[in-house]
Amino acid sequence: MTNNLFSGKTVEEAVKIGLEELGLTRDEAQIEVVEEGKKKLFGSVPAQVKITPIPKLSDGERAIAFLKGLFEFIGEGAEPSLTEESERIVIQIDAPSAKKLIGRRGETIDAIQTLASAVANIGREEYIRVVVDCGNYREDREETLKHVAEKTAAKAIRLGKRIRLEPMNPYERRIIHAALMENDAVTTKSEGKEPSRYVVITPKELKNDRSRDRDRNRRNGNRGGNGRDRYGKGDFNKKREYPHRELPKEASPQTAGTSLSRGTSGGYKKGNFTGFFGTYLGNSRDEQPETEVSPTETPDE
């Protein structure tokens, strides 16, 4: 072996010999064929390969290499750099447009962080946290969330009821929990399912919510809470009794319809019925004279 050159009867044999001597796998080495090897009339020329170990990358460096390839693919022109790799991995991204890379409410940079975290944790037994930042977004967002947590907690205490915050990722929910950990007047709890999991801030002294009781009473068919209407005048569910209207005993044109008569003044008055509104089933020849009345004329009284 000279300068990582290995020989064998064939290329495959030379590669196998070289990897065994270096203690590498094919994925961990770069292989270059120097001589294919060939047989001659008298003897043969052995195959030669050059094997160069690929430098092992740390978890953070592996994530950086992935992000560089990602940014080249999408054409963002961003440059990631590794700023910390101890208890956690911190990656800072310099981009021409930080706002575009961060996205609405940090959705884009959160997605980039999720991908980088998945790459950095490949083959690890213990999970390591990865933070991807751009334009100091994480620090500013943390201060904003702390302010929101304190303000919402004060509101929950004042109103005496639970308040639910908007859905957040696990990192942001931890900021809310940590910000209110020392607040003895409220408790925090994460509820819901990913990706719509959210934090609920609950005051330790809950007040009676009358509006909620009223809504519950309405759903149960009770407006006032005790089977009475809002004026306390009895059971509103009780069926009302309407006055019974007696119909004429004989169904005739004079009794089956209305008893209003049109007068000369254009209005209607009681009595002297000369027509009716509605439908009369029968033989009109038997009941009325064969006289047509124009809709614009006034019948004789």
pLDDT at 67 over 90: yes
pLDDT on residue 91: 95
DSSP summary character for residue 290: S
Report CA-CA distances (Å) from 30 to 8, 15, 69, 258. Answer: 18, 10, 20, 106
pLDDT on residue 66: 94
Distance between CA 113 and CA 125 in Å, rounded?
Answer: 20
Please write the tens of the pLDDT for every residue from 204-250: 988 765 555 555 566 566 554 454 554 455 555 556 666 666 655 55
Please write the tens of the pLDDT for every residue from 88-140: 999 999 988 888 889 888 889 999 999 999 999 998 889 999 999 998 999 99
Q: Rounded to two decimals, what is the model's pTM?
A: 0.53
Residue 103 token pair:
């996205």
72-76, 145-149, 168-172, 192-196, range with the lowest pLDDT: 72-76
pLDDT on residue 109: 92
pLDDT on residue 199: 96
147 pLDDT band, cuts 50/70/90, is very high
291 pLDDT band, cuts 50/70/90, is very low
Please write the tens of the pLDDT for every residue from 253-270: 544 444 444 444 444 444
Name the average pLDDT for the chain: 77
Residue type present at position 1: M
Question: What domains does the chain contain, in order, with CATH numbers?
Answer: 5-53 (no CATH), 59-135 (3.30.300.20), 139-203 (3.30.1370.50)
What beta strand segments (E) does the chain contain?
A: 5-8, 29-35, 38-39, 44-45, 47-53, 79-85, 88-94, 129-134, 163-164, 186-191, 198-203, 260-262, 268-270
70 pLDDT band, cuts 50/70/90, is very high
pLDDT on residue 142: 93
pLDDT at 145 over 90: yes
Q: Is the N-terminal amide bond of 248 cis, ω within 30° of 0?
A: no
Distance between CA 277 and CA 284 in Å, rounded?
Answer: 15
